[in-house]
Amino acid sequence: MGHGHHIEVKQEQFVFSPKAKRFSMILMVLGLIFAGLGIANLGGHEETHTAKTEVAAHEGAQHGEGHAVAAHEEHGNVETEAFGPRMEFHPLDKPANTRIWANLMIAGYFFLMISLVALMWYAIQYIANAGWSVGIKRIPEAIMTFIPVPFVVLIVALLMGKNDIYHWAHYEHLGLKPGDAGYDAILAGKSGFLNSTMLFVFPSVLVVIWYLLMRKLRSLSAAEDNATRGDVSFFRTSVKFSAAFAVIFGFTISVIAWLLIMSVDAHWYSTIFGFYNFVTHWVTMITIMAFFVAFIKKEGYLGFVTNEHMHDLGKFMFAFTVFWAYLWLSQYLLIWYAQIPEEMAYYQIRFENYKFNFLLNFAMCFCIPFLGLLMRSAKRNRYVLGIIGSIMILGHYHDVWLMVFPGVFGSGMQFGFLELGNFLLFAGVFTYWVFTALTKRGLVAVNHPYLDESAHHDVGV
Amino acid sequence: MGILDKKLSLRDRKKMLVGVWEDEDQLMAGAGELAHAGIHIHDVYTPYPVHGLDRIIGARRSKLARIAFFCAVTGLTLVTTMIWYMSVHDWPMNIGNKPVRFTPSWAPVMFEGTVLCTAFGMSFFFFWRNRLVHGIKNELLDIRQTDDRMVLTIETTDGMDEKAVLDMMKNHGAVELRAFHNGVQTVL
């Protein structure tokens, strides 16, 4: 076995300590307080009111009645004013609680993707025959059980706020025929994909498939724990199911991102969008995983998981930070090079009216993590990882917020108390759920064929 | 070969004690005891990476990362200057009425140039440092150190108890003991 020194790895049972409980409770309480503050502010209508007038002025100055542009289009006059956004916002029609539904939708989507990406990470470890990660494989295994919770939240948010969040849903409601005033050829053309049935049925079917594959992989892992040592049949079956999941997930995740998030700006599209969404959540999930590993180790578990494993997680965080920036820029540059002004609509509103958030997003998701995690010593330091990782998690949540809010509300919104509180509340529930899931089975995959490799993992001096 | 030979060749060193192992576990134990006894291990040549050995023999961290950083900064500067000179200063072209000074559109080339310089720079430095440059004669202490044997070398110092060191190696399963001096190996 190995390299001169034998490392004894025994089964450990995780106990949901009072400290961990307190931590998730604090997150939830803080979340409730902030969200409460945010909701109290909603009642005042001041913020929303300002938003409305601003957008109305903006829209009026630019091209008068929003539908006029679409009408132009219909009559074959494709000459578009430079940078004239063809998407129309209807902030005037939005009730104040749209902001609540949009927030729930973002949180649901974000945490659904985090759980799914954890499952994807787990699957990739099997497909790639990865040895180093076996010691921490129970953590993604716990995160991926969270799939149903955010999905339910997402569905509730969509049921309540669909018509106000998606202007295609609002448009669908109008039931316009060609030739009618306000008929929108683009939305009509996309209605085969962007319709209310699709919005609920498609994600539901996929979530059921993903959920079943998750249960299967988890049960294989549990069966392996109770089997005899040296039985690799569970490992082999897991590889097969992981491969199946990876193929399904790889194709469907983009579609989910288009359907749920990209359709907020229904006139606009970007082919890289799904992948960009995947990477945003992927890098966040790895950060969250690193946090859980650090916390669990601090509680005295997983003695054989060392700084070497943390270093590799840090490398993952760093590497995918760069990859995120690559996609972030690529999505824009493709549109910029292609010389199609109406494709700029997505960026125009974000850069004109949300300049601070737009640049903050880039700073939190790229500049700070890139410089902060560049050095080897930073990746091996729990405190540096903690600070940079917190910025990253919040930054990527803010990234999703920036994908949705300008499209839903037009200008004048800000990442306020409600958004922060909503995120913290969900983070608390998520933490609580994952810790509970960790107690359900032993913390070490004792019969995994690569456990010893993981215990001896060493990245060198 | 100038600097290359003086710094890195085994030839110009004092007398070296050489131990040859067939088993990595025994090698690790032996190296551990030698290090524990305060004997500086010059280097260990193994056909494959032996995890944990670098810590035992007190190997310092590779400086390759610093070279990578230096090459990256050089590449970035070089490529940025190149783009600026070509498309802003010397011959600005109107392509689709796009501004020539739009830096985000430079980013892909800047990135690629940085990566290119870093990759080439690191490769060259790595090969140079490991004496894998064409024209340098290899100094294999044992022809099988690239196959299935592990060779540990210790540079003798004044007052070193060579007998004790050799005994330590033998006790930990060294299958051959040799001395290397002025380019000549003698089996002990």
Chain A with chain B: Cβ pairs closer than 8 A: 46
Cross-chain CB nearest to B28 (options A3, A337, A460): A3
Residues of chain A neighbouring B52 (CB-CB closer than 8 A):
3-5, 456, 458
Residue A332 to residue B104, Cβ atoms within 8 A: yes
Contact (CB, 8 A) for B57 and B37:
no
The two structure tokens encoding residue B172? 């930990």
The two structure tokens encoding residue A170? 């609002």
* Beta-ladder partners of B16: B155, B180
Q: What is the pLDDT of residue A304?
A: 92
Longest dimension (CA), chain B: 80
Residue B32 to residue A336, Cβ atoms within 8 A: no
CA distance linking residue A168 with residue A190, whole number of Å: 9
Q: What is the pLDDT of residue A360?
A: 96
Averaged pLDDT, B141-170? 89
Pairing of strands B16-21, B43-45: unpaired
What pLDDT digit, counting tens, does each position of A150-193 carry? 999 999 999 998 888 998 988 888 888 888 888 888 888 898 89
Contact (CB, 8 A) for A86 and A402:
no
Does the pLDDT at position A44 exceed 60?
Answer: no
* Beta-ladder partners of B44: B152
CA distance linking residue A282 with residue A288, whole number of Å: 10
What pLDDT digit, counting tens, does each position of B86-127 carry? 989 999 988 888 888 888 889 999 999 999 999 999 999 988
Residue B96 to residue A329, Cβ atoms within 8 A: no
3-state secondary structure at position A91 = helix
What pLDDT digit, counting tens, does each position of A303-332 carry? 999 999 999 999 999 999 999 999 999 999
Q: What is the pLDDT of residue A47?
A: 44
Q: What is the pLDDT of residue A263?
A: 92
CB atoms within 10 A of CB B137: 10
Residues of chain A neighbouring B118 (CB-CB closer than 8 A):
none
Residues of chain A neighbouring B29 (CB-CB closer than 8 A):
4
Averaged pLDDT, A106-125? 96
What pLDDT digit, counting tens, does each position of B41-80 carry? 988 999 998 888 888 888 888 888 899 999 999 999 999 9
* Beta-ladder partners of A444: none
Closest residue on chain B to A329 (Cα): B104
Chain A residues within 8 Å of chain B (Cβ atoms): 2-5, 326, 329, 332-333, 336-337, 339, 376, 456, 458, 460-461
DSSP A411: S
For chain B, list the domains and their CATH numbers: 8-59+138-187 (3.30.70), 64-129 (no CATH)
Contact (CB, 8 A) for A266 and A168:
yes
Residues of chain B neighbouring A326 (CB-CB closer than 8 A):
111
Contact (CB, 8 A) for A294 and A385:
yes
| Closest listed residue to residue A445, CA positions, set A83, A3, A10, A7 | A10
Closest residue on chain B to A1 (Cα): B25
Averaged pLDDT, A206-226? 95
Does the pLDDT at position A46 exceed 60?
Answer: no
pLDDT, greater one: A247 or A7: A247
Res. A279 pLDDT band, cuts 50 70 90: very high
Residues of chain A neighbouring B61 (CB-CB closer than 8 A):
376, 461
3-state secondary structure at position B151 = strand
Q: What is the pLDDT of residue A60?
A: 42
Contact (CB, 8 A) for A62 and A84:
yes
| Closest listed residue to residue A161, CA positions, set A408, A413, A350, A400 | A408
Q: In what order do the strands lie in the sheet with B16-21?
A: B43-45, B150-155, B16-21, B176-181, B184-187
Averaged pLDDT, A420-439? 96
From A460's Cα to the closest Cα of chain B, the distance in A is 7
Q: Which helix (H) or strand (E) holds A68?
A: helix A66-74
At residue A33's C-alpha, the angle toward residues A27 and A38, to 5°, is: 120
| Preferred mutation among A1, A327, A344, A461 to probe B, highest tally of B CBs within 10 A | A461
Residue A3 to residue B32, Cβ atoms within 8 A: no
CB atoms within 10 A of CB A425: 21
From A334's Cα to the closest Cα of chain B, the distance in A is 10
Q: Which helix (H) or strand (E) holds A43?
A: helix A18-44
Res. A79 pLDDT band, cuts 50 70 90: very low
CA distance linking residue A405 with residue A415, whole number of Å: 9
The two structure tokens encoding residue A285? 């999930």
Residue A333 to residue B55, Cβ atoms within 8 A: no
CA distance linking residue A42 with residue A57, whole number of Å: 22
Distances from the Cα of B3 to the Cαs of A46, A314, B7, B59, B129, in angstroms?
74, 37, 6, 22, 11
DSSP A136-150: GTHHHHHHGGGTHHH
